[in-house]
Amino acid sequence: MAFQEIKNIQIKGIAACVPEHIENNRTSKVFEETIDADKFVETTGIEKRHTVNGEVICTSDLCLKAAETLIASLNWDKSEIDCLVFVTQTPDYILPATSCILQNRLGLSTECFAIDISLGCSGWVYGLSTIGSLLSSGNFKKGLLLVGDTVTVTKSNLDKSTYPLFGDAGTATALEFKEGADGLKIHTATDGKGFESIIIKDGGFRHFFNENSLKVEKQSDGAIRNNLQSYLNGQDVFIFGISKAPKSILGLIEKYNINKEEIDYLLLHQANFMMNDKIRKKVNIEENKVPYSLNEFGNTSSASIPLTLVTRLSNEMKSGNNKIMACGFGVGLSWGSAYFETENLCCPELIIY
Amino acid sequence: MKEQFLNQVKETLEITDREINFEDNFKEYDEWDSLNLLSIIAMIDEEYGVTIDSNTMSKITTIEELYNIIESNK
């Protein structure tokens, strides 16, 4: 089992940024009838979503705003930031890596380690694990983890199995080397057997962009989309989520003897309410400890955990200590859980792009 | 137990205007859609601790078959 304890680091702050445009699922044209829309909202809990809505706003733009705000709030000297980890599946370009562009746009030192990671819903947990490991030795002192997606760009507005679920967001998490700190306890897992459960078929190097890529067709699952838009097998992903996520959380609790009663908040990747509540019940943690942001922002891919923390818990985070369990699960298939304690976390108000 | 399952399916699909039977092809119900499919999987997972995969789910049609899968996986 892939468990890790990463000591000597501390999460100092978290910020998030979303596009201004709001789409309301109850009035969305993707549903033929109001009753379908109402049922969708009732089951998934997703009422509204912030989306880029055709504007050229990249994940990096959202993350940049979040990072700038966070750096200023923390009073960090930019020249002291030694590493930047950018997690997204909606980068600026096929090449170069967006983290390089962000190093420059943020005005970080050229003596900065910068890397892109391609993961979705599990991305924040994996990002924490990666940047935590980079900082833990003390060679690097300060690091920025920028995580987000503009997934709505990849959804067909004729596909009601994906379109109304997703929103766009970018986040920034600041971490620091701190000798003696408890750091992170992490479980990570991968099952590539399910790689086709959530997939954009064309545009990579397996199926290069071609003359058919933009052809909008009714697909075998009944949804209408082209091959540059993402396919989601809701049933497979649902079963995956309700079986793997609770095991990951409970596995981490058992491995490190974490006292479940002492966990202040369980932050789940914001997939949909029905799925998340199943996971919560299996883990057996009280409802009031499991906040949701999906009602207002939808499923925001890798950004969903930090976005939930910023929009639902900022007051609780700002003063005092909190014990947090976070779990991300999805595209890959990839999943993982992270446990950590925060102390007077810097948590600026949500930024609207 | 068997009767109870029938009621649980009825409740999950929010069928209020009629009785349902084990021989019914539930996929032909007016109420059947992709969200209700997930609700059924979730209900069975919660009530019986059995997670039915999508391949199995695609092959079956009657409530009887659904019930038999739960019985053989318990």
CA distance A284 to A278: 10
Q: Which residues of B touch A234 (CB under 8 A)?
A: 34, 38
Predicted complex: ipTM over 0.85 = no
Report residue B53: phi and psi, to 5°.
-80, 165
Are B51 and A235 a contacting pair at CB < 8 A?
no
Question: How many CB pairs below 8 A link A and B?
Answer: 38
Nearest to A278 among B35, B37, B42 (CB): B42
Nearest to B54 among A39, A161, A235 (CB): A235
Return the pLDDT at A161.
82
For residue range A216-241, list pLDDT tens digits in order.
998 877 789 999 999 998 888 998 99
Residues of B at the A interface (Cβ-Cβ below 8 Å)? 34-35, 37-39, 41-42, 45-46, 51-54, 57
Are A161 and B34 a contacting pair at CB < 8 A?
yes
Q: State which residues form the domain around A167.
A: 1-353
> B56: closest CA among B67, B69, B42?
B69
> A315: closest CA among A288, A349, A272?
A349
Report residue A340: phi and psi, to 5°.
-160, 165
Q: Amino acid identity of A353?
A: Y
- Give the pair of three-digit tokens for residue B41: 């999987």
Return the pLDDT at B46.
83
Nearest to B51 among A233, A239, A275 (CB): A239
Confirm if A231 and A198 have CB atoms less than 8 A apart.
yes
Q: Which residues of A touch B54 (CB under 8 A)?
A: 233, 235-236, 239
> A113: closest CA among A139, A92, A94, A147?
A139
Return the pLDDT at A221.
77
CA distance A276 to chain B (A): 11
Instruction: Please provide the CATH number assigned to the domain covering B2-73.
Output: 1.10.1200.10
Which chain B residue has the Cα nearest residue A240?
A: B53
Are A242 and B45 a contacting pair at CB < 8 A?
yes
Sign of the torsion formed by the C-alpha atoms of A123, A242, A232 and A199 = positive
Enter the DSSP assignment of A203.
S
> A308: closest CA among A251, A266, A256?
A266
Return the pLDDT at A166.
96
Confirm if A318 and A280 have CB atoms less than 8 A apart.
no
| Relative orientation angle of helices A304-318 and A123-136, to the nearest 10 degrees | 60
Question: Which CATH number is A249's domain given?
Answer: 3.40.47.10
Q: Which residues of B touch A243 (CB under 8 A)?
A: 51
DSSP letters along A157-173, please?
Answer: TT-TTTGGGB--EEEEE
Which stretches of chain B score pLDDT less than 70? Answer: none
Q: Tell me the C-alpha to C-alpha distance, in Å, between residue B7 and each of A251, B14, B21, B49.
A: 35, 10, 10, 18
- Is omega for the bond preceding A313 within 30 degrees of 0, making it cis? no
Whether chain B has a CB inside 8 Å of the CB on A219: the answer is no
Are A43 and B35 a contacting pair at CB < 8 A?
yes
Return the pLDDT at B53.
84
For residue range A53-79, list pLDDT tens digits in order.
999 999 999 999 999 999 999 999 999
Looking at the annotation, which residues of A are catalytic? 121, 269, 299
Which chain B residue has the Cα nearest residue A237?
A: B54
CA distance A44 to chain B (A): 9
Are A235 and B37 a contacting pair at CB < 8 A?
yes
Residue in this structure with the two tokens 């009035």, named with its chain if needed:
A27
Q: Tell me the C-alpha to C-alpha distance, in Å, between residue A52 and each of A21, A26, A42, A44, A57.
A: 7, 19, 24, 21, 6
CA distance A88 to A192: 18
> A134: closest CA among A180, A172, A81, A98?
A81
Q: Which residues of B touch A161 (CB under 8 A)?
A: 34
What total number of domains does chain A contain?
1
Return the pLDDT at A158.
86
Which stretches of chain A score pLDDT less than 50? Answer: none
> A88: closest CA among A237, A298, A303, A245?
A303
Return the pLDDT at A144.
98
Are B57 and A235 a contacting pair at CB < 8 A?
yes
